[in-house]
């Protein structure tokens, strides 16, 4: 039976070490179905640093998460084992070494059979995690929530930055280019060619204005049609939210999604085959009253719930199959 979070009727939710949602540590359970892992790395940013502190800020904010998720009618921490796997250590002074270390850390967890909910860190970390995920599942569909495209080629000659991970991922063949979508993009670009190159890489775009005009339900239906039943990786840059909903981030852009819109879109993906996810670019030094980390913790909670429900259903289906008479 899974070991659930501590019972807050018997403990103080504001006291003691913080794990995500107060779930047990990985060393306390041995193996886990979903590993929540931090990557405190932000050497790939192009503007404000500070996302290296994001994972722990999300953990602190997640103290208020509770076992039952009414929006999805689910008990995500009770169906399957969810554990906090601590942090992957990445060299803060060398981008190449950091990328290799993050890939190795992610692969080590995936090889145990766990799915990953990765807490960044800046968006550079998505590339090495995707490499490890694709090694297990093959090229994956990608749903990318972000104000920015993150498909630029280089920045000051650097191939690995928080603005380049998905170009590298397409080049390396680890993404299914028939099922790539940005959601929430907005703001100025370097040139119109940025959009042309992004299209050539295979991405479809749902801007934040599209979400506002068309509504969540229509957007979700479009995304599900594009994703189909492919293995899906979701990457959430918290700057997809408007700065009024997420001021604590490195590259804010006006006109973003509300936290309600983001949560509802994620919840609408319940039928998709989500295999792992990340949430990045929370920079608590710029946060006010923990607005950003609270939004991030709830978004990660919804992603963990999606994975938990899916794992539990597949196990139930297998048990039913085995119970059938030969």
Annotated binding-site residues read 123, 146, 148, 150, 237, 239
Indicate the burial class of 289 (C-beta count within 10 angstroms; 0-12, 13-18, 19 or more): exposed
Alpha helices in 176-258 (DSSP H): 193-201, 208-214, 216-227
Distance of CA 47 to the CA centre of its chain: 21
Residues annotated within a binding site for Mn(2+): 123, 146, 148, 150, 237, 239
Q: Which two tokens stand for residue 254?
A: 């006006």
DSSP characters for 144-187? EE-SS----S-BTTBSSSTTSHHHHHHHTT-EEEEEEEEEEE-S
Other CB atoms closer than 10 Å to residue 108's CB: what's the count?
15
Which DSSP letter does residue 24 get? P
Residue 57 backbone phi and psi in degrees, to 5:
-65, -40
The CA-atom distances, in angstroms, between 8 and each of 12, 15, 23, 63 are 6, 10, 12, 10
Closest CA to 171 of 193, 200, 144: 200
């Amino acid at each position: 039976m899974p070991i659930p979070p501590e019972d807050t009727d018997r403990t103080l939710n504001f006291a003691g070490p913080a794990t995500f949602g107060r779930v047990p540590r990985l060393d306390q359970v041995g193996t886990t179905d979903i590993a929540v892992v931090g990557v405190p790395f932000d050497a790939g940013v192009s503007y404000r640093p500070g996302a290296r502190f994001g994972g722990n800020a999300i953990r602190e904010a997640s103290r208020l998460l509770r076992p039952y998720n009414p929006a999805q009618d689910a008990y995500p921490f009770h169906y399957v084992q969810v554990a906090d796997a601590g942090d992957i250590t990445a060299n803060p002074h060398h981008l190449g070494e950091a990328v290799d270390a993050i890939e190795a850390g992610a692969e080590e967890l995936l090889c145990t059979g766990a799915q990953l909910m990765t807490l960044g860190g800046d968006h550079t970390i998505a590339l090495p995690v995707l490499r490890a995920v694709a090694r297990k599942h093959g090229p994956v569909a990608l749903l990318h929530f972000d104000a920015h495209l993150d498909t630029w080629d280089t920045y000051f000659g650097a191939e690995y930055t928080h603005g380049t991970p998905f170009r590298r991922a397409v080049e390396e063949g680890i993404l299914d280019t028939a099922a790539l979508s940005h959601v929430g993009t907005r703001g100025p670009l370097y040139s119109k060619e940025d959009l042309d190159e992004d299209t050539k890489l295979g991405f479809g775009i749902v801007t934040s204005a599209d979400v506002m005009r068309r509504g969540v339900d229509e957007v979700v239906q479009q995304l599900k049609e594009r994703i189909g039943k492919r293995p899906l990786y979701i990457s959430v840059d918290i700057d997809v939210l408007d700065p009024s909903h997420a001021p604590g981030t490195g590259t804010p852009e006006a006109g973003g999604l509300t936290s309600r819109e983001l949560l509802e879109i994620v919840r609408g993906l319940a039928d998709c085959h989500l295999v792992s996810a990340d949430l990045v670019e929370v920079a608590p030094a710029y946060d006010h009253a923990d607005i950003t980390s609270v939004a991030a913790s709830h978004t990660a909670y919804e992603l963990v719930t999606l994975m938990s429900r899916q794992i539990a259903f597949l196990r139930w289906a297998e048990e039913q199959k085995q119970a059938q008479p030969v």
